[in-house]
Amino acid sequence: MEAKVDLEWDDAHVVPEVIHPELDFLFRKMIEVTLAKVNPKPGEMILDIGCGRGTDGIALAKKGAEVVGLEASHVMITHAKDTISKNGASMTVTHGVGEHLPFRPGTFDKIMCKGSLDHFLDPAAAIGQMSQAIKPDGLVIIAIANFESLGFKLGKTIYRIMKAFGYRTNGERMIWDIPEDHTFKFDYFNLKRMVSAHLEVKQASGVSLLFGVPWWGSFLARCPKRVSNGILSICDWIARPLPAISDVVVLTCRPKT
């Protein structure tokens, strides 16, 4: 059966009921690093592909940028418009998919695609579209979860050892398994290879480390907040120049000359 875009996708299931310190840190740091790479300037035209509820786009708009959010889900567009209204922000949201951007070539100074590329039916086509929509001197910033991170590799290894000693689950999805609403399993190497076919990768950065290691979150939750934040900050510092093992990969790209 041919895959179709989920026009009613909702992010209500994305955030778990219990958020341990390492996941909270990961979410916050991913936003912080990605937006810092975008580095919006007043008057810049910025496209946020897969804008979701619009929170990142609003942050860019508050810096003076002219932000357009692109979203495939009608449900998320409703959420985004509600968020924009509540924040009194100036941001446009339009319906569309990354594989067929409804914009003229060279429209945007910067394009951001954070946490959504692995939901697209054809990620490579979406990257190709980004390379067309960006201005010749513009930047494209792509941030995505790394499913071959050190944390996931350690987690899978520990799980295999536990299974050898008789440990069994109830069939639930493991954290390193691809969610049902994902279409592609990205890691640093296949992401860079796919992006490099259309754009020049100017910089690759890692965000966070060790998410997915069994009991890591429980351990941090038992630590004083100051201690857990310190540990997570050190791990993030280690991860920044090592995107191949980090929890999240952030690529800063420019058009090929």
Q: pLDDT of 73-105, one tens digit each?
A: 999 999 999 999 988 888 999 999 999 999 999
Per-residue confidence band for 55, with pLDDT thresholds at 50, 70 and 90? very high
d(CA 90, CA 85): 9
Asked whether residue 1 is assigned to any structural domain, the reply reads no
Q: Does residue 134 fall inside a structural domain?
A: yes
Determine, yes or no, domain membership for 175.
yes
pLDDT band with cut points at 50, 70 and 90 for residue 15: low
Q: In whole angstroms, give the CA distance from residue 114 to residue 182.
A: 14
pLDDT value, residue 43:
96
DSSP 148-193: T-HHHHHHHHHHHHHHHTT----SPPPTTSPPTT------HHHHHH
Among 103-112, 129-138, 152-161, 190-199, the least confident range:
152-161
Question: Is the pLDDT confidence value at 14 over 80?
Answer: no
Q: Which residue has the higher pLDDT, 229 or 180?
A: 229
| Average pLDDT value for residue range 223-234 | 97
* Domain boundaries, position 15: 11-255
Q: In the chain, how many domains are there?
A: 1
In a domain, 143, yes or no: yes
Residue 120 placed within a domain: yes
**Both structure tokens of 55:** 């929170």
**In this predicted structure, what is the pLDDT of residue 106?**
97
In this structure, of 43-47, 76-80, 105-109, 174-178, the range with the lowest mean pLDDT score is 174-178
Question: Does residue 4 lie in a domain region?
Answer: no
Query: What CATH number does residue 106 fall under?
Result: 3.40.50.150
Sorted by sequence, the CB contacts under 8 Å of residue 195 that are 6+ apart come out as 127, 142, 201, 251, 253
What 1-8 contacts at long range (C-beta under 8 Å, 24+ apart), as own/partner pairs, is 3/121, 3/183, 4/121, 5/72, 5/97, 5/121, 6/72, 6/73, 6/181, 7/72, 7/73, 7/74, 8/73, 8/74, 8/75
Q: Which two tokens stand for residue 35?
A: 């937006």
Domain assignment of residue 115, yes or no:
yes
The predicted pLDDT at position 16 comes to 67
